[in-house]
């Protein structure tokens, strides 16, 4: 009985990946969504969604950084649509379905995705597992769903006219943020490993200018007294065989494991005034790689890359493919 339940889960997950989860189902729509997101600032955002009705014709690709309750009622369209939720860096997204009436016939489905998915690429790709996708149809509303990072997604397809769902979005505190998505292209953020091993990253869905404001990577030993010798910024740390470092670069899509690395740094450097990195990529990515032996932190300032500065860019993504 146990193995049967397990098998059913796998099949459901597969069905989801081939179906609702992949916008490849709707090639035109997928491309449009990508284009829309690369022009992140132009995407339709919700301003006051305390109680807000999703317009099936306008809001198929919806990006919201607000809390509140959303209602969706189908106009009979079988398109896959998405609610891209994003919260402050130190928050998680919680979704509670208050009402659900999405007939399973003709592919009717609502999927909660603990992360973001665009054009078949997911984020955070290196921390992905089946538990990140929960799908449902009928009148069976899933319980409270909470994301592991500050961005999550609800994808839905409701072909049955007049049917739909309502969902309440809340932002909960995240005491140890690891993977972080930046809302827009401006902001200052400190990536930390909290003494743990593994990778943490910050992604901006935009070309940006990145400045390292403060660097403490591979220096502060977890136990015992650390000398805290200011080493300055060390480059090519991974080539030197150092285990803890920061990759700065970009990616052509949400999958930051495929990032192109411009700079690879570590050390202890509190002086500002380092040269900014101009990243002309669809997404800007900074990844902190930690062995678990150190308390690492890197403070980064992001600002938008002006189109006229693209010629001076330090990294132009996709050039290796040409
Ligand atoms: C962390 O990133 C590095 C790339 O710098 C990669 O080799 C490694 O597999 C990643 N670790 C995990 C746990 O994903």
Residues 6 or more apart whose CB falls under 8 angstroms from that of 55 comprise none
* CB-based contacts of 183-186 (< 8 A; 24+ apart in sequence): 183/65, 183/86, 184/40, 184/41, 184/304, 185/40, 185/41, 185/284, 185/302, 185/303, 185/304, 185/305, 186/302, 186/303, 186/304
Q: pLDDT 10s digit of each residue in the chain, 322 long?
A: 333 322 222 222 333 333 344 333 343 333 434 444 444 444 455 555 467 899 888 899 999 999 999 999 999 999 999 999 999 999 999 999 999 999 999 999 999 999 999 888 999 998 899 899 999 999 988 889 999 999 999 999 999 999 999 999 999 999 999 999 998 889 999 999 999 999 999 999 999 999 999 999 998 776 655 567 788 999 999 999 999 999 999 999 999 999 999 999 999 998 876 789 999 999 999 999 999 999 999 999 999 999 999 999 999 998 765 5
Q: Look at ligand 1, atom 14, and give the residue with the nearest C-alpha.
A: 126
Atom of ligand 1 nearest to the CA of 247: 5
**Domain assignment of residue 70, yes or no:** yes
Predicted local distance difference test score (pLDDT) of residue 8 = 27
Kindly state whether residues 37 and 155 are assigned to the same domain.
yes
- The domain of 267 spans 185-321
Atom of ligand 1 nearest to the CA of 126: 14
Q: What is the pLDDT of residues 66-119, one digit of tens each?
A: 999 999 999 999 999 999 999 999 999 999 999 999 999 999 999 999 999 988
Q: Alpha-carbon distance 94 to 42, whole Å?
A: 25
pTM for this predicted structure:
0.81
**Domain assignment of residue 240, yes or no:** yes
Predicted local distance difference test score (pLDDT) of residue 226 = 57
**Domain assignment of residue 76, yes or no:** yes
Q: Is 291 in the pocket of ligand 1 (CB under 6 A)?
A: no
Kindly state whether residues 252 and 290 are assigned to the same domain.
yes
Helix (H) or strand (E) holding 3: helix 2-18
Kindly state whether residues 97 and 14 are assigned to the same domain.
yes
Predicted local distance difference test score (pLDDT) of residue 273 = 65
Q: Is the peptide bond before 124 cis (omega within 30 degrees of 0)?
A: yes
The number of domains in the chain is 2
CA of 290 to the centre of ligand 1 (A): 9
Kindly state whether residues 298 and 201 are assigned to the same domain.
yes
Give just the sign of the alpha carbon dihedral 275, 281, 283, 287.
negative
What are the C-alpha distances in Å from 173 to residues 148, 191, 311? 11, 16, 40
Q: Is 126 in the pocket of ligand 1 (CB under 6 A)?
A: yes
Predicted local distance difference test score (pLDDT) of residue 320 = 63
Q: What is the pLDDT of residues 5-23, one digit of tens each?
A: 222 222 223 333 333 443 3
Q: Look at ligand 1, atom 1, and give the residue with the nearest C-alpha.
A: 199
**Helix (H, G, I), strand (E, B), or coil: what is residue 130?**
helix
Kindly state whether residues 158 and 22 are assigned to the same domain.
yes
Q: Which of 146, 173, 200 lies at the terminal end of a domain, its last residue? A: 173
Predicted local distance difference test score (pLDDT) of residue 72 = 96
CA of 289 to the centre of ligand 1 (A): 7
Backbone angles phi, psi at 166, to 5 degrees: -135, 145
Q: Which of 148, 173, 198 lies at the terminal end of a domain, its last residue? A: 173
Q: Which residues partner with 117 through β-bridges?
A: 122
Lookup result for tokens 């400045």: 211
Lookup result for tokens 């006051």: 48
Atom of ligand 1 nearest to the CA of 245: 5
Q: Is 199 in the pocket of ligand 1 (CB under 6 A)?
A: yes
Predicted local distance difference test score (pLDDT) of residue 245 = 98
Q: For residues 313 and 280, is the Cβ–Cβ distance under 8 A?
A: yes
Kindly state whether residues 11 and 77 are assigned to the same domain.
yes
Kindly state whether residues 164 and 202 are assigned to the same domain.
no
In angstroms, how far is the first alpha carbon of the chain from the final one?
53
Q: Is 76 in the pocket of ligand 1 (CB under 6 A)?
A: no
**Domain assignment of residue 92, yes or no:** yes
Predicted local distance difference test score (pLDDT) of residue 19 = 35
Kindly state whether residues 210 and 279 are assigned to the same domain.
yes
CATH number of the domain enclosing 128? 2.60.120.290
Atom of ligand 1 nearest to the CA of 199: 1
**Which stretches of 119-276 are DSSP H helices?**
none
How long is the chain? 322
Q: Which of 130, 146, 173 lies at the terminal end of a domain, its last residue? A: 173
**Domain assignment of residue 179, yes or no:** no
**Domain assignment of residue 180, yes or no:** no
**Domain assignment of residue 178, yes or no:** no
Q: Which residues partner with 134 through β-bridges?
A: 112
How far from the centroid of its chain's Cα atoms is residue 23's Cα?
17
Predicted local distance difference test score (pLDDT) of residue 39 = 43
Q: Alpha-carbon distance 208 to 285, whole Å?
A: 10
Kindly state whether residues 207 and 279 are assigned to the same domain.
yes
Q: Alpha-carbon distance 97 to 203, whole Å?
A: 28
Kindly state whether residues 142 and 18 are assigned to the same domain.
yes
Predicted local distance difference test score (pLDDT) of residue 143 = 87
**Domain assignment of residue 311, yes or no:** yes
Kindly state whether residues 154 and 218 are assigned to the same domain.
no
Q: Alpha-carbon distance 90 to 172, whole Å?
A: 9
Q: Is 198 in the pocket of ligand 1 (CB under 6 A)?
A: yes
Kindly state whether residues 301 and 221 are assigned to the same domain.
yes
Task: At 52, list the tokens.
Answer: 């807000």
Q: What would the 3-class secondary structure string for 135-178 be?
A: EECECCCCCCEECCCCEEEEEEECCCCCCEEEEEEEEEECCCCC
């Amino acid at each position: 009985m146990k193995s049967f339940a397990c098998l059913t889960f796998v099949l459901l997950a597969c069905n989801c990946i081939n179906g609702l989860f992949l916008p490849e189902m709707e090639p035109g729509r997928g491309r449009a969504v990508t284009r829309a997101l690369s022009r992140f600032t132009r995407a339709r955002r919700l301003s006051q969604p305390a109680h807000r009705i999703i317009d099936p014709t306008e809001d198929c690709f919806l990006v919201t950084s607000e809390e509140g309750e959303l209602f969706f009622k189908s106009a009979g369209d079988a398109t896959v649509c998405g609610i891209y939720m994003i919260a402050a860096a130190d928050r998680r997204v919680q979704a509670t379905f208050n009402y659900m009436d999405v007939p399973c016939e003709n592919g009717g489905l609502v999927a909660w995705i603990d992360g973001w998915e665009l054009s078949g690429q997911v984020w955070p790709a290196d921390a992905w597992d089946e538990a990140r996708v929960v799908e449902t149809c009928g009148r069976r509303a899933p319980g409270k769903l909470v994301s592991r990072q500050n961005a999550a997604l609800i994808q839905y397809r409701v072909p049955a006219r007049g049917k739909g769902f309502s969902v309440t979005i809340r932002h909960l505190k995240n005491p140890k943020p690891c993977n972080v998505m930046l809302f827009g292209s401006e902001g200052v953020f400190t990536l930390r490993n909290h003494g743990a091993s593994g990778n943490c990253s910050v992604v901006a869905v935009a070309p940006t200018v990145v400045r390292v404001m403060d660097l403490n990577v591979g220096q502060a030993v977890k136990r015992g007294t650390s000398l805290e010798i200011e080493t300055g910024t060390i480059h090519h740390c991974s080539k030197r065989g150092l285990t803890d470092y920061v990759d700065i670069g970009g990616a052509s899509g949400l999958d930051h494991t495929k990032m192109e690395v411009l700079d690879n740094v570590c050390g202890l450097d509190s002086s500002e005034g380092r040269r900014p990195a101009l990243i002309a990529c669809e997404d800007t990515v900074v990844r902190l790689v930690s062995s678990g032996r150190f308390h690492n932190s890197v403070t980064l300032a992001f600002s938008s890359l002006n189109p006229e500065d693209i010629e001076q860019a330090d990294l132009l993504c996709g050039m290796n493919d040409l």
